[in-house]
Structure 1
Amino acid sequence: MESYRSRLIILFFLLLTPLTVAIDTSISETIEQVDRHAFASLLCDPETLPAVEALAHSIRFADHDEPFLIIVPSSVPDFVVGRINDLPNTHAFEADSLPYPFNSTADRMSIHKPCRFLKLQLWGLTRWRKIIFLDADTIIRNNVAELFEAPGFSAVKDPVGMNYNTGVIVIEPSRYVYSLIVNNYVHAGSYNVGDQGALNALIDFDAWNPLPMRYNTFHTAPEEAFNDAKIVHYSGDAKPWNFWNARGHGRIPTRAFVEWCHMAENTPTAACHMRGKVDHREKVGLMKKRYRDSVDDQFLSVLLSTYNRDSWSELSLFYAKLDFVKEVYVVWQNMNRTREPAPHEKVRFVYPDSDSLNNRYLAADLSEDCVYICDDDIYVPAHTLMSGFEVWKQNPARLVGFYPRMWYPIPGSYTVNIAGGYNIVLTKGMFAHRSFLTAYSLFLPKRLTNIVDEHMNCEDILFNMMAVGMTGLPPLAVMSNETIHDVGKDKGISGPKGSGHLRVRDYCVQSFMRLGMDQPTLASRGSILPLARKNHVVGAIGD
């Protein structure tokens, strides 16, 4: 016996009779009718605002002037609604929540499964003849006016299985269809306990109108399919606007990330840092070949940042002479300083066009996966450096360094006391995978990297927060009983007491968290090598 679910579409178009339906007419009346066509999306929380900004910009970039409607639940703050309404021809409106027909577990609530059922309200927007719904994690690359000529329930079939992906769907608003959907979805079931499963349960498979994949192409698609895409869908746990919260799940190919950042350019919240050259070798996120349990790399690259100290030359020569160092790149931060010749054939230079601590992660020219990031005032003996490299090879998804620190989400708690653990290793001596440097230099939002420029501080905190959030793995500290010379220990921004350095760093922590960085739920305890604490010597290397 056929269930009502599999034949509901027949009810829509063959057996409909006039009904008294309870449609939230305020949704349709919120916005003046300016066109027979519209785009629509859904925003469930303030964290999704950058995605909506990028999507709105992509719609205009593709030469569309149709209204862009954003459904928001009542829980979204007023300032977010205001930011949406400031976007060109974009309108936010609050829709009544629909009952969630499944258990509201913590996991389901965290990814807004109940909120996503607000999508069903779109069938009640009868002021528009056709609506193209787009998930917030999509962008339009080329004009899609032809979709407005497609029939309702047009969508792209998922690559696997017998379901249609409702991240992009053509909707024909109808009071009757709206009534039948909202009155029956609670009983329809859902293979993913979400709106997509419910719609696929309600609408017979043969009743959908299939669209070519170019109208809903996953960002991980092969290059040929990606290049043919008109709409790119960033499906999965890693999202371009908060990729640092993926905790080891998902990846974003560089080409897809660059495309999203292009659409987000000049937007208030979403704009990417995009400093340095694009390295298309990289994929931001986890890959089996990259972050497996261990690697057998024989060489590393050194990235040394310098400003005014002459010690860069001696240090770069020291690194260049080590057998396991493939190359040494010196980031020449002071644009007004006379450029000097390389002291060794392995030594090369990066010349940024501005002075910024964010420049210390410019990695597009590096050839090795392992990058040793260091300052121009720290000398680590060769044996200790090699030990750190060996530790990194066993833990290539982690940051490995010689200077651990701890911060908490409580104001005033940034500390060098690591008795209770640590969640940072400073970049004055750190091993990191090159992909982390790519992620920082290109894809972190400007709203975060601008804080580093504002205070000329905290780039190491931001780098750690990003990397730990991406992988879900805390850093590792390598402690040594060999002598480490710290030439600038009492002269740099973190040197003199009373300089306010710790206060500034604590302010950075609070600012990064407020702007979307995750809290420090991951921390390490103890060092990877249970040796004595480092023996610091203040002074020149030869002293």
Structure 2
Amino acid sequence: MMGSLPISRRLVFKLRQVGIGTLGSAKSKLLILGCVALIILAVSNRNRDGSSSLIGWTGEVDLSSSPRGRYSIVMNTWKRYDLLKKSISHYASCPLLDSIHIVWSEPDPPSDSLKRYLSHVMRLSSRKDQQVELVFDINKEDSLNNRFKEIKDLKTDAVFSIDDDIIFPCSSVEFAFTVWQSAPDTMVGYVPRMHWVDQKKGNDKYRYGGWWSTWWTGTYSMVLSKAAFFHKKYLKLYTDEMPASIKEYITKNRNCEDIAMSFLVANATSSPPIWVKGKIYEIGSTGISSLGSHGERRTECINKFVDEFGRMPLVPANMKAIDSCNSWFW
């Protein structure tokens, strides 16, 4: 059927119908054929130029040497050295990576053997044209807030916040990075979650929606910082402006620092985050989310933060960014 034809083919079909039906002369047919050839040439040139990502970014401008052309990884870890080694080995090979900052909150500093091993891995895995920097950010206090402490000497604008037990292909990470470049004030990530009004308790009370509610409805209002890009300015904002009561609550309960960051960014922008499709390889088997009553604890966090912020800043969305070059079916 004509309605199912691609745009360029429909245009060619209409031009031929109009030209042949109304003019009918040899000259008009030659004119139409010339137009058809120009259209086909323009379409083929556009396709040959390479794929474009969100909001006009074509990748033709070399930004690799600028702060916005590269990104830094901030990786949270806790006594899972085998997982840390695997993650560092993988991410060190990503082309646009500038540095990896390991958030270290253990009572003992990293051992010399661990440092030597990771340094060796970085040298082997990094691309020949660039050596990725590896930094241990040592913290005296054991708190989940440490993953959002300001990093004074961070060279890049983009921060990719990641846990040590999650691996994404470099191509997926850098697609998400291009999406972030088109919207650098918001959070861009792979793990969406939603808040819902709790009808049983009133319009000013909320409950936490896990993965299944997002999958079922296609709606989300957060992307978790276990795998998300955001601007480095939010590290400073979290460090300097996040209410002390929220930080104390997070330290005490060992949960919800990711929700707090989503609140912070949404409160600053009044905009939703962006969910990016990507393959997630979880190489760990345990974590906070595996504990009992996880959803109830997260619901408590949301309502606590709403009280502290004085409003619900999270903005729902249902947009999902997909790399069309690697997806034959949209």
TM above 0.5: yes
**Per-residue CA distance 1:422-466 (angstroms, 9 max, x = gap):** 111011100000001110022212011111112100000010011
> Aligned partner of 1:399: which letter?
M
CA distance in 2, matches of 1:469, 1:377: 29
CA distance in 1, matches of 2:179, 2:282: 22
1:28-427 equivalences in 2 (<5 Å): 296=63, 297-310=68-81, 311-336=83-108, 338-339=110-111, 340-341=114-115, 342-343=118-119, 344=122, 346-362=133-149, 363-410=151-198, 411=205, 413-416=207-210, 417-418=213-214, 419-427=217-225
CA contact (8 A) 1:328 1:346 kept: yes
CA contact (8 A) 1:320 1:326 kept: no
CA distance in 2, matches of 1:516, 1:330: 30
Residue 464 (structure 1) aligned to one of 262, 265, 271: 262
CA contact (8 A) 1:371 1:432 kept: yes
- What residue number does 1:486 align with? 282
TM-score under structure 2 length normalisation: 0.67
Compared CA separation, residues 453 and 347, structure 1 to 2 (3 A): same
CA contact (8 A) 2:222 2:314 kept: no
Give the CA deviation at 1:413.
2.2
Compared CA separation, residues 338 and 392, structure 1 to 2 (3 A): closer
CA distance in 2, matches of 1:530, 1:325: 19
**Per-residue CA distance 1:456-508 (angstroms, 9 max, x = gap):** 0000001001101101111000013x4x21123x4101024xx1111111101
Gaps of 5+ in 2: 1-55, 123-131, 199-204, 325-330
Secondary structure of residue in 2 paired with 1:439: helix
Residue 529 (structure 1) aligned to one of 299, 315, 322: 322
> Aligned partner of 2:160: which letter?
Y
Larger radius of gyration: 1
CA distance in 2, matches of 1:316, 1:466: 28
Query: What's the RMSD between the two structures over aligned residues?
Result: 2.2
Give the CA deviation at 1:322.
1.8
**Per-residue CA distance 1:290-340 (angstroms, 9 max, x = gap):** xxx989522101100111111112212322222200010101121236433
CA distance in 1, matches of 2:271, 2:261: 13
- What residue number does 1:511 align with? 304
CA distance in 1, matches of 2:153, 2:297: 32
> Aligned partner of 1:443: which letter?
E
Give the CA deviation at 1:516.
2.1
Compared CA separation, residues 356 and 391, structure 1 to 2 (3 A): same
CA distance in 1, matches of 2:170, 2:310: 35
CA distance in 2, matches of 1:521, 1:431: 17
CA distance in 2, matches of 1:522, 1:338: 40
CA contact (8 A) 2:263 2:314 kept: no
Give the CA deviation at 1:517.
4.7
CA contact (8 A) 1:316 1:347 kept: no
TM-score under structure 1 length normalisation: 0.41
In the alignment, structure 1 residue 495 sits paired with structure 2 residue 274: no
CA contact (8 A) 1:357 1:459 kept: yes
CA distance in 1, matches of 2:197, 2:303: 7
Secondary structure of residue in 2 paired with 1:302: strand
Secondary structure of residue in 1 paired with 2:90: helix
Compared CA separation, residues 391 and 320, structure 1 to 2 (3 A): same
CA distance in 1, matches of 2:161, 2:220: 19
CA contact (8 A) 1:315 1:379 kept: yes
**Per-residue CA distance 1:236-255 (angstroms, 9 max, x = gap):** xxxxxxxxxxxxxxxxxxxx
- What residue number does 2:13 align with? none
Larger mean CA deviation between 322-331 and 359-368 belongs to: 359-368
Secondary structure of residue in 1 paired with 2:301: helix
**Per-residue CA distance 1:186-235 (angstroms, 9 max, x = gap):** xxxxxxxxxxxxxxxxxxxxxxxxxxxxxxxxxxxxxxxxxxxxxxxxxx
Identity over aligned residues, as a percent? 27
CA distance in 1, matches of 2:164, 2:256: 17
CA contact (8 A) 1:359 1:441 kept: no
In the alignment, structure 1 residue 444 sits paired with structure 2 residue 242: yes
CA distance in 1, matches of 2:314, 2:135: 39
